[in-house]
């Protein structure tokens, strides 16, 4: 055992020390000193992470654009307490692995204090460890299956209770449907939704005649639609995801001669994007339950739709639920950041996160609010019926619903499972 | 029950159109063509583009798609596949590459985006075509309603099978093709122009895939990666039926299509898919050269 300093050992150690001292210092630091620039510099760097190429380009590009539009508006109106926002846009190429790599790049190299992005649950799960480990902040805009409690993600999309608590009673009481066929893609989200829906159906004295699943992305719907036709059901609750699969489902429904007046499809995932991609005539007469539709008649929304068309320089550009959530997420973030700056504190991800609790914003689709405990969003639930022009008509608008991400496991407003101190797993 | 058998037949018909092309290229020419699904996609885009720009309906799109996909197939054969005969694995890799290039080219609006040219209707997103009025609705057999469009799909597949069978067994082109399949060098020695016959056969198989694409556009949205899943199912059919037997292909596509649809209706779709794959594995284990393999001499 010699402690003699060999040349090799010396070179190795000094190289390592050199790297640590000059090359990549921020890798070793996890505290606020990392965001020194953000706290004092003139611009605030934020990341925008969506798939600009690959199969998910169509929906995700609109999310990236919505964030950029909000940033442009905020900058034009004086920025965040006088400071401009600088968006660093990254392409995640429809690949969860790329999402993870690009998130790492945004957090570690670009030192952004917040990232707006993601679309699928796979993409959120791919980036989540980075934001949790680096104590950074991620805004996720899509409605999703819930059952998540993270202190580094802000969820600006709906959770199952905000799409089903209004839809199921409405199907039974207003449409007068008693026998519901539940259909979905074979994975976590549709199965969770089906579980919540079944409880609601029982509470409303209706029954479900079947609970069936098709492979994710499957486009051969012949057998399933045949089953629906012969099941004796009087309405379909669809939790089918992925645009091509939804489009093939509605097409087959019409091709097999079922009309939406006989057996209406009530969907939780069909937004304007899915409807326009399948051909409007196939969806005409069906229903969707979401917090936001382009057809909302508030003047704020009409302005939003017009601004969106102008921003894209395209008369046919459509607004849709996750795009709306991407947009107002930036405004919630702006208000929280101003709260931090006005209090004279350093602008760090976790300071913004703390300031976000109970922040309200009058979004184009109505008032939204960040839940103080679980960092999800309060929404006004809405049901729309699709017309032959690809636009919805709002047929039902409920009272504002608090987000209950664990509604699937029995969470209720008086008994929260996910609180500011984290998930109480004893309640699951 | 009539309805489920009928559904199975229509699923089988699409499979048949895809597998016929593969049966020729894989069975007779010894090429694994992974770009077959993309030729199908090109056919489907022909339906979309001719509808937008020329006002064509599905009937008129079918021959256009046959020609366009066939021409693309001929180009692939002349520039790539021809240089790789007798190198089975290399053809797999090369055509897979072609498949990726074709998919991304469509996603980039046929690659013309590099030159700032925009083709309306050929976006990166989902496209859709309608079904002609006469094919909508259903007709009745023994008290059950059968969709007309699915009947039309079955009809087209059977006609194209008959045409293929006639070419294969009743024309001199078919005789030459079968000679090449048995022994390419001997066929060449007997005066068969192997290169020319191969190009024609490959291009014909591609054309069939293009027609399948047009028919599929009536069921689902047209998108750049729509063909990928079908090429797998097509190979399953060819392998199950026996690589160089047209009737094997017909029988196997019927079998797999029916199994899929009937099991999906009786049990559920997820199980049906798993069962079909398990069935194919069993068949290949018991009869490695497929159900209808010609006698080896």
In this structure, the answer to whether residues A168 and A269 fall within a common structural domain is: yes
The yes-or-no verdict on residue A1 having pLDDT over 50 is: no
- Write the residue in A223, A230, A257 that is nearest to B269 by C-beta: A223
In this structure, the answer to whether residues A24 and A114 fall within a common structural domain is: yes
The yes-or-no verdict on residue B24 having pLDDT over 60 is: yes
**CA nearest to B107 within chain A:** A54
In this structure, the answer to whether residues A218 and A115 fall within a common structural domain is: no
* A389 assigned to some structural domain: no
The boundaries of the domain holding residue A203 are 162-290
In this structure, the answer to whether residues A80 and A118 fall within a common structural domain is: yes
- Write the residue in B147, B223, B272 that is nearest to A257 by C-beta: B147
Read off the pLDDT band of A22 (50, 70, 90). very low
In this structure, the answer to whether residues A266 and A169 fall within a common structural domain is: yes
Give the DSSP letter of residue A34. Answer: G
Main-chain dihedrals φ then ψ at residue A267, nearest 5 degrees = -115, 150
CB pairs under 8 A between A and B: 92
* B270 assigned to some structural domain: no
Residues of B within 8 A of A226 (CB-CB) are 3-4, 7, 265
The yes-or-no verdict on residue A355 having pLDDT over 50 is: yes
Q: Give A211's strand partners.
A: A182
The answer to whether B55 touches B36, Cβ cutoff 8 Å, is no
d(CA B145, CA B155): 17
The answer to whether A249 touches A221, Cβ cutoff 8 Å, is yes
Main-chain dihedrals φ then ψ at residue A421, nearest 5 degrees = -90, 5
Read off the pLDDT band of B196 (50, 70, 90). very high
**CA nearest to B1 within chain A:** A226
Q: Which two tokens stand for residue A372?
A: 């103080």
Q: Does B221 touch chain A (CB under 8 A)?
A: yes
Q: Does B193 touch chain A (CB under 8 A)?
A: no
Residues of B within 8 A of A222 (CB-CB) are 7, 10-11, 150, 261
As a whole number, the mean pLDDT across chain A is 88
Q: Does B159 touch chain A (CB under 8 A)?
A: no
* A415 assigned to some structural domain: no
In tens, the pLDDT along A366-387 reads: 999 999 999 999 999 999 999 9
Cα–Cα distances (Å) from A402 to A14, A159, A372, A411, B78, in that order, read 56, 10, 11, 11, 63
- Write the residue in A215, A226, A277 that is nearest to B125 by C-beta: A277
Q: How many domains does chain A have?
A: 2
**CA nearest to B132 within chain A:** A255
CB-CB under 8 Å, A257 with B125: no
Residues of B within 8 A of A251 (CB-CB) are 218-220
In tens, the pLDDT along A294-320 reads: 999 999 999 999 999 999 988 888 899
Name the one residue in this structure whose structure tokens are 């990928």.
B228
d(CA A112, CA A137): 9
Least trusted range by pLDDT, from A272-286, B43-57, B126-140, B225-239: B126-140
Q: What is the pLDDT of residue B116?
A: 65
Query: Mutation test of the interface with chain A: which of B7, B216, B220, choosing the one with the most A Cβ atoms within 10 A?
Result: B220
Query: Mutation test of the interface with chain B: which of A55, A185, A250, A255, choosing the one with the most B Cβ atoms within 10 A?
Result: A255
Per the document, the length of chain A is 428
Q: Which of A290, A324, A347 marks a domain boundary? A: A290
The yes-or-no verdict on residue A75 having pLDDT over 70 is: yes
d(CA A287, CA A167): 10
DSSP letter for each residue of A77-112: TTTBTTBEEEEEEEE-TT-HHHHHHHHHIIIIIS--
Q: Which of A290, A314, A347 marks a domain boundary? A: A290
The boundaries of the domain holding residue B213 are 2-108+127-226
Least trusted range by pLDDT, from A14-23, A148-157, B242-251, B262-271: A14-23
Q: Does B4 touch chain A (CB under 8 A)?
A: yes
Measure in Å the smallest separation between the Cα of A95 and chain B Cα atoms: 15
The answer to whether A185 touches A240, Cβ cutoff 8 Å, is yes
In tens, the pLDDT along A255-297 reads: 888 999 999 999 998 898 888 878 788 899 999 999 999 999 9
Mean pLDDT in residue range B99-121: 75
Q: What is the pLDDT of residue B129?
A: 80
Q: What is the pLDDT of residue B291?
A: 84
* B286 assigned to some structural domain: no
* B164 assigned to some structural domain: yes
Q: What is the pLDDT of residue A20?
A: 47
In this structure, the answer to whether residues A255 and A299 fall within a common structural domain is: no
d(CA A263, CA B94): 48
Read off the pLDDT band of A6 (50, 70, 90). low
Q: Does B256 touch chain A (CB under 8 A)?
A: no
Give the DSSP letter of residue A417. Answer: S
Q: Does B27 touch chain A (CB under 8 A)?
A: no
d(CA B68, CA B60): 13
In this structure, the answer to whether residues A142 and A30 fall within a common structural domain is: yes
**CA nearest to A256 within chain B:** B147
Measure in Å the smallest separation between the Cα of B219 and chain A Cα atoms: 6
Read off the pLDDT band of A4 (50, 70, 90). low
* A73 assigned to some structural domain: yes
In this structure, the answer to whether residues A337 and A322 fall within a common structural domain is: yes
Query: Terminus-to-terminus CA distance in chain B, angstroms?
Result: 43
Q: What is the pLDDT of residue A13?
A: 54
In this structure, the answer to whether residues A335 and A352 fall within a common structural domain is: yes
In tens, the pLDDT along A185-194 reads: 988 788 888 9
Read off the pLDDT band of A25 (50, 70, 90). very low
CB-CB under 8 Å, B265 with A226: yes
Q: Which of A380, A398, A416 marks a domain boundary? A: A380
Q: Does B274 touch chain A (CB under 8 A)?
A: no
Measure in Å the smallest separation between the Cα of A316 and chain B Cα atoms: 13
Q: What is the pLDDT of residue B156?
A: 95
Q: Does B7 touch chain A (CB under 8 A)?
A: yes
In tens, the pLDDT along B267-295 reads: 888 888 899 999 999 998 998 888 887 66
B71, with CB counted inside 10 A (0-12, 13-18, 19+), is middle
* B173 assigned to some structural domain: yes
Q: Does B259 touch chain A (CB under 8 A)?
A: no
Query: Mutation test of the interface with chain A: which of B47, B120, B122, B125, choosing the one with the most A Cβ atoms within 10 A?
Result: B125
Residues of A within 8 A of B276 (CB-CB) are none
- Written in H, E and C, the secondary structure of A53-75 is CCCCHHHHHHHHHHHHHHHHHHH
Task: Using an 8 Å CB-CB cutoff, list residues of chain A that contact chain B.
Answer: 53, 55, 57-58, 186, 212-215, 218-224, 226-227, 230, 243-244, 247-248, 251-252, 255-257, 277-279, 281
CB-CB under 8 Å, B268 with A213: yes
CB-CB under 8 Å, A57 with B145: no
The fraction of chain A above a pLDDT of 70, given in percent, is 90
Residues of B within 8 A of A221 (CB-CB) are 219
Q: Give the domain CATH number at A219.
A: 3.40.50.2300
- Write the residue in A212, A221, A281 that is nearest to B268 by C-beta: A212
* B280 assigned to some structural domain: no
* A399 assigned to some structural domain: no
* B161 assigned to some structural domain: yes
Q: What is the pLDDT of residue A28?
A: 46
The yes-or-no verdict on residue A3 having pLDDT over 90 is: no
Query: Mutation test of the interface with chain B: which of A59, A220, A254, A315, choosing the one with the most B Cβ atoms within 10 A?
Result: A220
CB-CB under 8 Å, A279 with B130: yes
The yes-or-no verdict on residue B48 having pLDDT over 70 is: yes
DSSP letter for each residue of chain B: -HHHHHHHHHHHHHHHHHHHHHIIIIIIT----TTHHHHHHHHHHHHHHIIIII---HHHHHHHHHHHHHHHHHHHHHHTGGGGTT-HHHHHHHHHHHHHHHHHHHHTTTTGGGGT---TT--SS-B-----GGGSSEEEETTEEEEHHHHHHHHHHHHHHHHHHHHHHHSHHHHHHHHHHH-HHHHHHTT--HHHHHHHHHHHHHHHHHHHHHHHTTTS-B-TTTTHHHHHHHHHHHHHH-TT-HHHHHHHHHHHHHHHHHHHHHS-HHHHHHHHHHHHHHHHHH-TT-TTPPPP-
Q: Does B228 touch chain A (CB under 8 A)?
A: no
* B253 assigned to some structural domain: no
The yes-or-no verdict on residue A420 having pLDDT over 90 is: no
In this structure, the answer to whether residues A132 and A184 fall within a common structural domain is: no
The yes-or-no verdict on residue A426 having pLDDT over 90 is: no
In tens, the pLDDT along A86-121 reads: 999 999 988 899 999 999 999 999 999 999 999 988
Mean pLDDT in residue range B123-129: 71
In this structure, the answer to whether residues A245 and A340 fall within a common structural domain is: no
CB-CB under 8 Å, B131 with A227: no
CB-CB under 8 Å, B4 with A226: yes
- Write the residue in A223, A255, A278 that is nearest to B261 by C-beta: A223
Listed residue (A331, A367, A377) closest to A156, CA to CA = A377
Q: Is the dihedral of CA A230, A231, A236, A240 positive or negative?
A: negative
In this structure, the answer to whether residues A222 and A296 fall within a common structural domain is: no
Q: How many domains does chain B have?
A: 1
């Amino acid at each position: 055992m010699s402690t003699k300093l060999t040349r090799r050992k010396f070179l190795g150690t000094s190289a390592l020390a050199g790297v640590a001292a000059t090359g990549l210092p921020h890798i070793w630091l996890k505290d606020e000193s990392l965001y020194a620039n953000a706290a004092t510099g003139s611009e605030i760097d934020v990341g925008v992470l969506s798939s600009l190429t690959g199969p998910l380009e169509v929906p995700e590009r609109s999310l990236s654009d919505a964030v950029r539009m909000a940033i442009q508006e905020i900058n034009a109106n004086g920025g965040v307490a006088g400071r401009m926002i600088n968006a660093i846009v990254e392409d995640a190429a429809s690949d969860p692995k790329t999402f993870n790599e690009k998130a790492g790049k945004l957090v570690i190299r670009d030192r952004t204090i917040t990232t707006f992005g993601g679309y699928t649950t796979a993409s959120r799960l791919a980036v989540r460890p980075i934001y949790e480990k680096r104590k950074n902040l991620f805004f996720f805009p899509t409605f999703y299956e819930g059952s998540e409690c993270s202190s580094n993600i802000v969820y600006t999309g709906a959770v199952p209770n905000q799409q089903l608590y209004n839809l199921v009673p409405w199907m039974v009481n207003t449409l007068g449907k008693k026998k519901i066929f539940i259909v979905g893609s074979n994975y976590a989200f549709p199965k969770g939704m089906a579980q919540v829906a079944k409880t609601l159906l029982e509470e409303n004295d209706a029954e479900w005649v079947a609970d069936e699943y098709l492979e994710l992305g499957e486009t051969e719907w012949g057998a399933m639609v045949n089953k629906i036709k012969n099941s004796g059901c009087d309405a379909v609750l669809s939790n089918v995801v992925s645009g091509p699969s939804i489009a093939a489902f509605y097409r087959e429904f019409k091709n097999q001669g079922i009309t939406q007046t006989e057996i209406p499809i009530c969907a939780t995932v069909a937004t304007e994007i899915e409807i326009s991609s399948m051909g409007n005539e196939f969806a005409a007469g069906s229903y969707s339950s979401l917090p936001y539709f382009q057809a909302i008649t508030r003047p704020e929304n009409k302005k939003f739709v017009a601004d969106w068309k102008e921003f894209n320089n395209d008369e046919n550009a459509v607004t849709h639920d996750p795009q709306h959530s991407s947009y107002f997420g930036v405004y919630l973030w702006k208000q929280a950041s101003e709260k931090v700056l006005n209090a004279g504190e350093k602008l760090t991800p976790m300071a913004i996160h703390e300031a976000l609790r109970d922040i309200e914003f009058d979004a184009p689709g109505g008032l939204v609010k960040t839940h103080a405990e679980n960092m999800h969003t309060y929404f006004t639930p809405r049901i729309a019926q699709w017309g032959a022009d690809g636009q919805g008509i709002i047929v039902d608008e409920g009272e504002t619903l608090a987000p209950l991400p664990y509604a699937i496991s029995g969470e209720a407003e008086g008994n929260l499972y996910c609180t500011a101190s984290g998930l109480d797993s004893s309640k699951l | 029950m009539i309805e489920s058998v009928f559904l199975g037949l229509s699923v089988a018909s699409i499979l048949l159109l895809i597998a016929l092309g593969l049966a020729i290229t894989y069975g007779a020419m010894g090429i694994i063509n992974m770009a077959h699904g993309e030729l199908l996609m090109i056919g489907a885009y022909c339906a979309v583009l001719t509808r937008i720009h020329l006002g064509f309906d599905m009937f008129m799109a079918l021959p256009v798609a046959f020609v366009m996909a066939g021409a693309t197939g001929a180009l692939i054969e002349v520039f790539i596949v021809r240089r790789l005969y007798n190198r089975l694995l290399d053809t797999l890799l090369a055509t897979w590459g072609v498949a990726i290039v074709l998919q991304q080219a469509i996603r980039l609006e046929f690659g013309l985006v590099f030159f700032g040219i925009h083709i309306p209707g050929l976006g990166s997103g989902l496209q859709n075509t309608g079904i002609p009025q006469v094919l909508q609705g259903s007709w009745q057999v023994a008290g059950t309603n059968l969709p007309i469009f699915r009947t039309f799909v079955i009809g087209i597949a059977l006609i194209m099978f008959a045409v293929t069978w006639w070419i294969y067994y009743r024309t001199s082109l078919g005789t030459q093709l079968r000679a090449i399949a048995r022994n390419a060098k001997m066929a060449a020695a007997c005066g068969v122009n192997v290169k020319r016959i191969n190009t024609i056969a490959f291009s014909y198989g591609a054309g069939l895939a293009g027609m399948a694409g047009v028919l599929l556009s009536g069921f689902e949205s047209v998108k750049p990666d729509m063909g990928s899943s079908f090429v797998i199912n097509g190979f399953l059919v060819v392998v199950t039926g026996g690589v160089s037997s047209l009737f094997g292909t017909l029988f196997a596509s019927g079998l797999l299509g029916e199994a899929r649809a009937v099991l999906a209706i009786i049990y559920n779709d997820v199980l049906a898919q798993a069962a079909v794959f398990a069935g194919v594995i069993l068949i290949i284990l018991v009869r490695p050269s497929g159900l209808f393999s010609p006698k080896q001499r």
